């Protein structure tokens, strides 16, 4: 499945390239970075008072103790260094630096795919060498077990012998709340073991991937993340991983914009496949859609005020083979965008409701390549069913 949005909404999205290796690192003392590495913002920070009580400030009725989270879970966050042609994030010609975190006692480390690869689509290449540096100064080689270019996730393996590993836990499936305080730990600009704090500023965002497909269910945050934060964790108040910091939307190229993290659920899905198979496989519908909203539906007589309106159906894909109708009319402008008329509006997959293009992508991920599903669509304002056999998502977005 692919989805499209007005181009203006996509402008400025960029992966978080890492800092060059020559940047000075903080937190290289034996006990890791001290309190000076913690960026404080009054509205989110909770610190222990001298008398053992807590001077607490809150965000949306919740509090977060950034210092305690850092002390307990900071050692589980690592710096990922790359050497060779794969280092797309490098500021010098041949090396780069990002972040990551430990997820198991046997040496598994999660980071962003773009930290340890170069290029996009079919031109993606792994870095020649990867090293992982821990807060206690240990630096060891790492093997890339696999990477997911669709969701920007990579799984690394280090030899755990002689290392003190502090695995981080993923947050269990739950409802995040906009305004919930969060902590980001990573190596912005090469400043290792740095902490920033903020809140969840939005949910269910779609962000670009290394393939042209969109990564859905992303978390938007105002916690400061910059070059080098890529691959580091976004943590909740209990120190559990909510997602992997991956992108910023900015006009200046630095962290003055908003950040995006690949959600924990998406990361878990990728890690399960990478650990088992060394690669990922996702279902592919073969349609490109835009969101339907009431005024749009009324203007074009779509027959339903929600769903994913098909604008394009790539040649030879599952959508075309199933007979999904693309928009084939003239482009017409409405409000701030142009739309092509005549396409189906998808409102359900196997009775699972679709209210937007993001829903379409998320629901499709509940199925496997090769499964046959029933699409409920509105065509010419009337409902009908279309049987479609899902394919495996190609490495490059078909055009």
pLDDT in tens, 108-152: 999 999 999 998 888 889 999 999 999 999 999 999 999 999 999
pLDDT in tens, 70-111: 999 999 999 999 998 655 444 445 788 999 999 999 999 999
Q: Which of 3, 95, 99, 114 is catalytic?
A: 114
Instruction: Enter the tokens of residue 207.
Output: 């962000």
Within 10 A of 248 (CB to CB), how many other CB atoms are there? 25
pLDDT in tens, 261-317: 999 999 999 999 999 999 999 999 999 999 999 999 999 999 999 999 999 999 999
Where along the chain do its domains lie?
Answer: 1-278, 283-392
pLDDT computed for residue 85 by the predictor: 63
Question: Is 210 a residue whose pLDDT tops 50?
Answer: yes
Q: Which of 3, 65, 95, 152 is catalytic?
A: 152
For the chain, the first-to-last Cα distance in angstroms comes to: 12
Question: Is 36 a residue whose pLDDT tops 50?
Answer: no
Structurally, what CATH architecture does the domain formed by 1-278 represent? Beta Barrel (2.40)
Q: Which of 194, 230, 327, 356 is catalytic?
A: 230
| Confidence band, pLDDT 50/70/90 cuts, at residue 252 | low
Question: Is 17 a residue whose pLDDT tops 50?
Answer: no
pLDDT computed for residue 293 by the predictor: 97
Q: Establish whether 230 is a catalytic residue.
A: yes
Give the DSSP letter of residue 38: B
pLDDT computed for residue 253 by the predictor: 56
List b or e across 281-292, with b for residues whose CB sees 16 or more CB atoms inside 10 angstroms.
Answer: ebbbbbbbbbbb
Q: Establish whether 114 is a catalytic residue.
A: yes
Give the mean model confidence (pLDDT) for residues 364-391.
Answer: 97
Instruction: Enter the tokens of residue 137.
Output: 């100064």
| Confidence band, pLDDT 50/70/90 cuts, at residue 23 | very low
Q: CATH number for 283-392: choose from 3.40.50.920, 2.30.42.10, 2.60.40.10, 3.20.20.100.
A: 2.30.42.10
pLDDT computed for residue 174 by the predictor: 76
> CA-based diameter of the chain, in Å?
71
Instruction: Enter the tokens of residue 94.
Output: 């041949």
Specify the residue for token string 């340890």. 116
pLDDT computed for residue 1 by the predictor: 52
Within 10 A of 240 (CB to CB), how many other CB atoms are there? 17
| Confidence band, pLDDT 50/70/90 cuts, at residue 396 | confident
Give 140-144's long-range contacts (Cβ < 8 A, gap of 24+). 142/80, 142/109, 144/116
Q: Establish whether 152 is a catalytic residue.
A: yes
Name 74's Cβ contacts closer than 8 Å, sequence gap at least 6: 32, 33, 135, 185, 193, 195
């Amino acid at each position: 499945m692919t989805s499209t949005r007005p181009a203006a909404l996509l402008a400025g999205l960029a992966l978080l390239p890492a800092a060059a290796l020559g940047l000075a690192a903080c937190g290289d003392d034996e006990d890791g970075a001290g309190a000076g590495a913690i960026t404080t913002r009054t509205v989110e920070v909770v610190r222990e008072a001298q008398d053992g009580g807590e001077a607490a400030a809150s965000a949306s009725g919740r509090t977060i103790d950034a210092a305690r989270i850092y002390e307990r879970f900071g050692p589980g966050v690592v710096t990922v260094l790359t050497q060779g042609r794969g280092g797309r994030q490098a500021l010098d010609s041949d090396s780069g630096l990002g972040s990551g975190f430990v997820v198991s006692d046997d040496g598994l480390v999660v980071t962003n795919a773009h930290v340890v690869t170069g290029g996009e689509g079919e031109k993606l290449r792994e870095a020649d060498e990867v090293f992982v540096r821990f807060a206690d100064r240990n630096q060891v080689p790492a093997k890339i077990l696999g990477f997911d270019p669709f969701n920007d996730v990579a799984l690394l393996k280090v030899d755990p012998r002689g290392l003190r590993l502090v695995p981080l836990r993923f947050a269990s499936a739950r409802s995040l709340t906009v305004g919930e305080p969060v902590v980001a730990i990573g190596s912005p600009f090469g400043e290792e073991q740095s902490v920033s704090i903020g809140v969840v500023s939005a949910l269910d965002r779609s962000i670009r991937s290394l393939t042209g497909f969109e990564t859905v269910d992303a978390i938007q945050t105002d916690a400061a993340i910059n070059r080098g934060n890529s691959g580091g964790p976004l943590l909740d108040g209990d120190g559990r991983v909510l997602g992997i910091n991956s992108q910023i939307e900015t006009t200046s190229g630095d962290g003055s914009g908003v950040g995006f993290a690949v959600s924990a659920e998406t990361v878990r899905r990728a890690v399960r496949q990478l650990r088992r198979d060394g690669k990922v496989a996702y279902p592919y519908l073969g349609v490109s859609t835009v969101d339907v909203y009431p005024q749009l539906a009324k203007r074009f007589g779509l027959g339903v005020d929600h769903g994913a309106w098909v604008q394009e159906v790539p040649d030879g894909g599952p959508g075309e083979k199933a007979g999904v109708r693309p928009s084939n009319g003239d482009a017409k402008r409405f409000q701030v965008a142009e739309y092509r008329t005549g396409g189906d509006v998808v409102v359900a997959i196997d009775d699972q409701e679709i209210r937007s293009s993001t829903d379409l992508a998320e629901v499709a991920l509940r199925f496997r390549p090769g499964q046959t599903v029933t699409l409920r669509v509105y065509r010419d304002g009337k409902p009908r069913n279309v049987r479609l056999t899902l394919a495996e998502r190609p490495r490059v977005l078909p055009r």
